[in-house]
A and B are shown apart, each in its own frame.
Chain A
Amino acid sequence: MKMKKAVTFLTVLFASIFLLAACGGEDSGGNGTSSGNTKSIKFMHLWPEGSSAQHHKVVNEIITDFEAENDGITIDLEVLSNEQYKDKIKVLSTSNELPDVGMTWAAGYMEPYVNGNMFAAVDDIIESDLSDSFVPGTAEAFSIDDTAYGLPLELNISTIFYNKAIFDEYSLEEPQTIEELHEIVDTLNENGVNPIALGNRDAWTGSMWYMYLADRFAGEEDVLTQAINREVSFEDPALVQAAQEIQKLVESGSFVQGFNGLADEEAKSMFMGEQAAMYLIATWDLPNFTTNEDVPQEFRDSVGYFKFPTVDGSGDSNSYVGGPGVGLFVSENSDVKEEAKAFASYFVQQWGEKAVTEVGIIPATKVDADSLDLPQMYVDVLNDLNEATNITLYADVQMSASAAQVHLDMIQALFGGDVTPEGFAKTHEDTLSAEE
């Protein structure tokens, strides 16, 4: 009899656990919940407080203002650092749980999302709220088949930043040609100073070196972009020469020891800790060299930059590697799409001027630079940008995701001496032609 009671008891217990579990499942499901009068917009960005203090602060200001102006709407924020962000967005998209508003990169990166109907078209926002406010070319980079799916926030060009104090100590001057850069490297190596910080575990940093050399060797034409678009072969002499030059730079000890195992953040901290003299990075890091109060004033004062040198008299130093950085997307499947679009539009409008004055980066929206009080380095970069003859979009953004992965692996192999320059070009050619 006792046994029977126990059985009944257990049966009831199981049944109730199931009921509870079923109830618990009801109200989960993270994207865009609207309950009663308050609506919540889920927003993800990639500027954590630790590594991008100014960005983080400005985003929070914009969110606070938006919430104050729009009663009953709250922004549900999630912040991840760059690489984690990329991973998470991908995982969320496979389970159809993208945030209502989030960040995306241009061109090849966003293509699968657009083809998969994940991003909402934002032409209506651009036409109504933001007409004529973007720098030409930036909004286009976020368009596929003439429909815009992203609102660009940044415009970056990459330059070589250097430590003036170290350069002064060894009486070095900004190099104009790659030969002069080699001489600087030799002098620094003789004196036991690390010449160039490079974190090639994040191979897109090594890719920027390669892209610049390819651009310089090619001269007038943007051969790299043409090769990616399949107008010319990747085995073009300029692209092979650029790969050879990379290995020359590696052999002469230009880059810090073990660069293939270092992350970009580690390389950056070497440059900012004055352990390396030079560092090629895009202008998104300008705040660290100008306005970021967490970086010692002494270091910020000693940072200068120069344009990537020319090679053998070939190439134009006003041609840059760069392009629009991140932009905002609105999720197609959002429950609060209208509110999300309003927020994205508000964000872009507020971002432009705040990005200049408070963050110190170049926004993709037009800004009247003369009316603002800006750090000198920022003014210089803006002037350079006005004189730019060409901006080549980052290769790993231009390519499809799987070709980009091959490209990044090959960059590591090239820098590590695991592949010949010819083999490097051939692997690219094979990969790109297989995708046609």
Chain B
Amino acid sequence: MNKVMSNKWIIILYTFPALLLIAVLIVIPLILSGYFGLMDWDGIGAMEFIGLDNYIAALQDTKFWDSTLHSFLLALFSACSLIGYLAVALILASKIKGASLLRKIYLIPMLLSSVAIAQLWIKVYNPSNGMLNSILLGLGIDNPPAWLADPNIVLYAIFVPIIWQYAGFYILIYYAALKNIPESLIEAAKIDGATPLQIALKIKIPLIMNVFKVTIVLSIVGSLKYFDLIYVMTGGGPNGASEVMASYMYKLAFSSYNFGYGSAIGFLLLIITLIVTVIIRKLTVSKDEIQY
């Protein structure tokens, strides 16, 4: 084995296909979008080089900063909801009745396409005929809000289905991690007289901390580049109240025909996400590996 792996050509040969895919699908488009960001281009006609004008315009664009704020709000909400997912996973992993059925139910939203989820929640939120407002009216609340039309509410109204959509994914990750903890540790704790809460907080959670850290990065990065539900449910409206970075980029490039500016925003989105990822990794880096 060592003999084979010490041959540099073999290493290059074996990593080449993956490298090629990453280069063609990720690296080259990234560089291109940074390059298009330097252009005044409607996406169809001739390009004109304008240097950093697009990037400077973006940094002065209040709509861009609003959408950035919305993206970070989503990231904050997603990160907080991880605690909820973890709690559910802890309960599921503690051998309650019907755990396997519940696990499958939680996974259903993951199997639906985003557009289907969006359509479903548009119906739920419909101000006059929707399920939510019908229930509220039934409970005697007179003027239930128009969830997707009120600029102060719309963003949070969309966060709910997004958090719902990813619940199954994170619960599954936590569940698998929890199942990996050796039974002997739990047994020992029980013999020492630990309560279930103590076992969860002092043994289980510290043992899966590495997994938890990875999910924090996943959820924050995923939130910062989030697009689908927002695009289908409101298109970023009304008047940008639910615009996030990715939907703003899309709107500029494909609705306003300002491909250069849209590319610049896309590139800024990449830089922001990179910076945030590095910061989180720094904050969550573990000093000592826990061994079972």
Q: Identify the A interface with B (CB < 8 A).
A: 3, 7, 10-11, 14, 17-18, 87, 90-91, 93-94, 112-113, 115-118, 194, 200-201, 203, 256-263, 266, 270, 275, 400-402, 404-405, 409-410, 412-413, 415-416, 418-419
11 CB-based A-B contacts, threshold 8 Å: A257-B127, A258-B126, A258-B149, A261-B238, A262-B148, A275-B128, A401-B257, A405-B256, A415-B238, A416-B151, A418-B151
Whole-angstrom CA separation of A412 from B17 in the bound complex: 49
A residues less than 8 Å from B237 (CB atoms): 201, 203, 260-261, 409, 412
Contact among A194, A203, A416 with B149 in the assembled complex (CB-CB below 8 Å):
A416
B residues less than 8 Å from A117 (CB atoms): 45
Contact among B44, B127, B147 with A118 in the assembled complex (CB-CB below 8 Å):
B44
Answer whether residue B3 sits at the interface, using C-beta atoms and an 8 A cutoff. yes
A residues less than 8 Å from B222 (CB atoms): none
Q: What are the 5 closest A-B residue pairs judged by CB atoms, nearest first? A: A258-B146, A261-B148, A258-B127, A116-B44, A261-B149
Count chain B CB atoms within 10 A of each CB in A10, A117, A400, A412 and give the residue with the most: A412
Given contacts A3-B4, A201-B238, contact A261 B125 (CB under 8 A): yes
Whole-angstrom CA separation of A227 from B147 in the bound complex: 35
Answer whether residue B251 sits at the interface, using C-beta atoms and an 8 A cutoff. yes
Shortest CB–CB separation between residue A86 and chain B, in angstroms?
A: 8
Whole-angstrom CA separation of A260 from B242 in the bound complex: 12
Whole-angstrom CA separation of A99 from B3 in the bound complex: 55
Interface of A (DSSP majority class): helix
Count chain B CB atoms within 10 A of each CB in A87, A90, A118 and give the residue with the most: A90
Chain B, interface size category, equals: 35 or more
Contact (Cβ within 8 A) A201 B235? yes
Whole-angstrom CA separation of A270 from B130 in the bound complex: 12
Answer whether residue B100 sits at the interface, using C-beta atoms and an 8 A cutoff. no
Contact (Cβ within 8 A) A260 B146? yes
Contact among A87, A194, A203, A416 with B128 in the assembled complex (CB-CB below 8 Å):
A194
Q: Identify the B interface with A (CB < 8 A).
A: 1, 3-4, 10, 13-14, 17, 42-46, 122, 125-129, 146-151, 154, 234-235, 237-240, 251, 254-259
Given contacts A17-B17, A409-B239, 4 further A-B contacts (CB under 8 A): A90-B257, A91-B254, A258-B147, A419-B239
Whole-angstrom CA separation of A94 from B42 in the bound complex: 10
A residues less than 8 Å from B128 (CB atoms): 194, 256-258, 270, 275
B residues less than 8 Å from A270 (CB atoms): 128
B residues less than 8 Å from A11 (CB atoms): 13
Contact (Cβ within 8 A) A116 B259? no
Contact (Cβ within 8 A) A112 B257? yes
A residues less than 8 Å from B3 (CB atoms): 3
A residues less than 8 Å from B129 (CB atoms): 275
Whole-angstrom CA separation of A203 from B239 in the bound complex: 10
Shortest CB–CB separation between residue B224 and chain A, in angstroms?
A: 23
Shortest CB–CB separation between residue A258 and chain B, in angstroms?
A: 3
Shortest CB–CB separation between residue B244 and chain A, in angstroms?
A: 15
A residues less than 8 Å from B149 (CB atoms): 257-262, 416
Whole-angstrom CA separation of A402 from B40 in the bound complex: 13
A residues less than 8 Å from B254 (CB atoms): 87, 90-91
Whole-angstrom CA separation of A311 from B287 in the bound complex: 74
Whole-angstrom CA separation of A400 from B42 in the bound complex: 11
Whole-angstrom CA separation of A200 from B239 in the bound complex: 11
Whole-angstrom CA separation of A154 from B148 in the bound complex: 33
Contact (Cβ within 8 A) B43 A93? yes
Q: Which residue of chain A has the shortest Cβ distance to B16 in the bound complex?
A: A14
Contact (Cβ within 8 A) A402 B257? yes
Contact among B13, B44, B234 with A93 in the assembled complex (CB-CB below 8 Å):
B44
Contact among B13, B14, B154, B255 with A261 in the assembled complex (CB-CB below 8 Å):
B154
A residues less than 8 Å from B257 (CB atoms): 90, 112, 400-402
Shortest CB–CB separation between residue B121 and chain A, in angstroms?
A: 11
Q: Which residue of chain B has the shortest Cβ distance to A109 in the bound complex?
A: B257
Contact (Cβ within 8 A) B239 A116? no
Whole-angstrom CA separation of A415 from B13 in the bound complex: 61
A residues less than 8 Å from B146 (CB atoms): 257-258, 260-261
A residues less than 8 Å from B45 (CB atoms): 112, 115-117
A residues less than 8 Å from B14 (CB atoms): 10, 14
Whole-angstrom CA separation of A91 from B240 in the bound complex: 23
Shortest CB–CB separation between residue B243 and chain A, in angstroms?
A: 10
Contact among A112, A201, A405 with B251 in the assembled complex (CB-CB below 8 Å):
A405
Whole-angstrom CA separation of A294 from B257 in the bound complex: 38
A residues less than 8 Å from B259 (CB atoms): 94
Contact (Cβ within 8 A) B239 A416? yes
Contact (Cβ within 8 A) B147 A113? no
B residues less than 8 Å from A405 (CB atoms): 251, 255-256
